[in-house]
Amino acid sequence: MRLDHFRRLRPLCPACRAAGRAAAPLALGAAALVQGDDIVEGVLVCSERLCQREHPIVDGIPIVVADIASWSAHQLPALQRRDDLSAFTESLIGDAAGPQSEFHAERSNLGIYGWAHWGDAARSGDAEGAAAPRHGGAYLGLLDACWPLLDAPPQGAWIDVGCAVGRGTVELARRGAGIAVGVDLGFAMLRVAERVRRSGRARYPLRRGGLVFDRCDVAVADVPAERIAYWCCDAAALPFADAAFAGALLLNVVDCVPAPLALLAEAGRLLAPGAAALYASPYDWSTQATPVSQWLGGAGQRGPARGSSAAELRRILSPDRAAGVDLGLVIESELEAVPWNLRTGDRAAMAYAVHAARLRRR
Ligand SMILES: C[S@@+](CC[C@H](N)C(=O)[O-])C[C@H]1O[C@@H](n2cnc3c(N)ncnc32)[C@H](O)[C@@H]1O
Ligand SMILES: [Zn+2]
């Protein structure tokens, strides 16, 4: 976390808001490890006397969530994971832990998004004979296909909600944002993103199949590090002021959260009046992420949206206020089906046709 970003973003305490108080400003409590302009380890502290919650900064990433104990229950292994092991030893540990382990799930996920976001950079360290990988950099293909929906290039502060390993945030900065803030709850993902920002290298395990992974460690050129920030936050309770952002990416995240409408409402709160959001989703609902009752149109095929999530989004965000729910956002322009492919192994991929849209803050 750069000090100039902290001053510009003026974060507010989500624990205060969860307790029903006005969210108080966070102060920099201590910096335990500083490298150049970055506070790599330190703590942000809530300035409200009744709260004084500490929000740690680890590996350069501020962790600013309302309930750090429940966040830790899921994220502690990722937070504590050492990343100095050779690919050789990492693969020994992966084999020992086995396919049901959290470690395997984390590596598989990092490979899926690492490859989608950074796979267009040359791959190094491949084992001989690995089948030709496909869909490297598919995220960029998706972003470029959706980009014309925006009627103006990004300016000022933009937020990339559910940024994963960070490509969208880098693209926002490359394409004009004065500051691009990537937020995600997953610490392992953010660590990959933050490494790209601070060292210009994308490093992630890429699954061939079974328990077999190769390590990708590739140079990423042209990273405007001084205009990029990654924060570990819940998309439904972001630690920033109302109207703090001039635009948002909401790509493939609405079907990954427990309360999609709360996520949209939070995006509406954060955006300045007139600001645009680039939205996309495959509506690949699962109960691991979202209870069935919250699936937008994805349950209830006899309802008004006839089981179509895209139709339900249109209904919810209708510019006709009487028809829509007032989340502060309206839907302005759409693409019905944009291809988005995620590689899961050398011989396997998931193929999506995502619904994309430009949303506008009223
Ligand atoms: C399907 S991935 C999409 C990532 C990226 N936007 C893309 O299009 O490639 C969804 C991301 O949302 C993150 N996520 C899930 N729930 C979240 C939450 N409540 N707050 C912030 N991020 C969340 C996940 O960790 C994951 O990185
Ligand atoms: Zn507080």
Question: What pLDDT, on the 0 to 100 scale, is given for residue 318?
Answer: 87
Place of tokens 């490359």: 174
Is residue 229 within 6 Å of ligand 1 at its C-beta?
Answer: no
Question: What pLDDT, on the 0 to 100 scale, is given for residue 129?
Answer: 39
Residues in the chain: 362
Is the pLDDT at 336 greater than 90? The verdict is yes
Average pLDDT over residues 114-133: 65
Question: What pLDDT, on the 0 to 100 scale, is given for residue 301?
Answer: 87
What does the alpha-carbon distance between residue 329 and residue 265 come to, in Å, rounded to a whole number?
8
pLDDT digits (tens, 9 = 90+) for 43-89: 999 999 999 999 999 999 999 999 999 999 999 999 999 989 999 99
Among 118, 253, 343, residue to substitute to test ligand 1 (most atoms within 8 Å of Cβ): 253
For residue 136, how far is the Cα from the chain centroid? 18
> Which amino acid is residue 6, in one-letter code?
F
User: 154-158, 289-293, 303-307 — which is least confidently predicted?
Assistant: 303-307
Name the 3-class secondary structure at 238: coil
Is the pLDDT at 286 greater than 80? The verdict is yes
Is residue 266 within 6 Å of ligand 1 at its C-beta?
Answer: no
Average pLDDT over residues 257-276: 97
Contact 280, 146 (CB under 8 A): yes
Per the prediction, the chain carries an average pLDDT of 94
Instruction: Give, using CA atoms, the residue closest to atom 11 of ligand 1.
Output: 162
H helices present in the chain, as ranges:
3-9, 14-18, 68-80, 87-97, 102-118, 138-146, 167-174, 187-199, 260-270, 309-316
For a pLDDT cut of 90, what percent of the chain falls above it? Answer: 89
Question: What pLDDT, on the 0 to 100 scale, is given for residue 124?
Answer: 47
- Atom index in ligand 1 nearest the CA of residue 280 equals 8
pLDDT digits (tens, 9 = 90+) for 201-241: 999 999 999 999 999 999 999 999 999 999 999 999 999 99
What does the alpha-carbon distance between residue 158 and residue 281 come to, in Å, rounded to a whole number?
19
Question: What pLDDT, on the 0 to 100 scale, is given for residue 274?
Answer: 97
Is the pLDDT at 139 greater than 80? The verdict is yes
What does the alpha-carbon distance between residue 313 and residue 25 come to, in Å, rounded to a whole number?
34
CA distances from 141 to 119, 222, 244 (A): 12, 18, 28
Among 64, 74, 185, 279, residue to substitute to test ligand 1 (most atoms within 8 Å of Cβ): 185
Contact 14, 46 (CB under 8 A): no
Tell me, in angstroms, the distance from the centre of ligand 1 to residue 309's CA.
18
Closest ligand relative to 14 C-alpha? 2
The hierarchical CATH code for the domain 134-202+223-361 is: 3.40.50.150
CA distances from 2 to 115, 200, 240 (A): 27, 16, 16
Is residue 66 within 6 Å of ligand 1 at its C-beta?
Answer: no
pLDDT digits (tens, 9 = 90+) for 144-166: 999 999 999 999 999 999 999 99
Is the pLDDT at 134 greater than 90? The verdict is no
Question: What pLDDT, on the 0 to 100 scale, is given for residue 159?
Answer: 98
Average pLDDT over residues 169-191: 98
- Residue scoring higher pLDDT (173 or 326): 173
The residue extents of the domains of the chain are 3-64, 134-202+223-361
What is the DSSP pairing of strand 54-58 with strand 38-46?
Answer: antiparallel
What does the alpha-carbon distance between residue 16 and residue 66 come to, in Å, rounded to a whole number?
8
Closest ligand relative to 68 C-alpha? 2
Is the pLDDT at 6 greater than 90? The verdict is yes
Question: What pLDDT, on the 0 to 100 scale, is given for residue 323?
Answer: 66
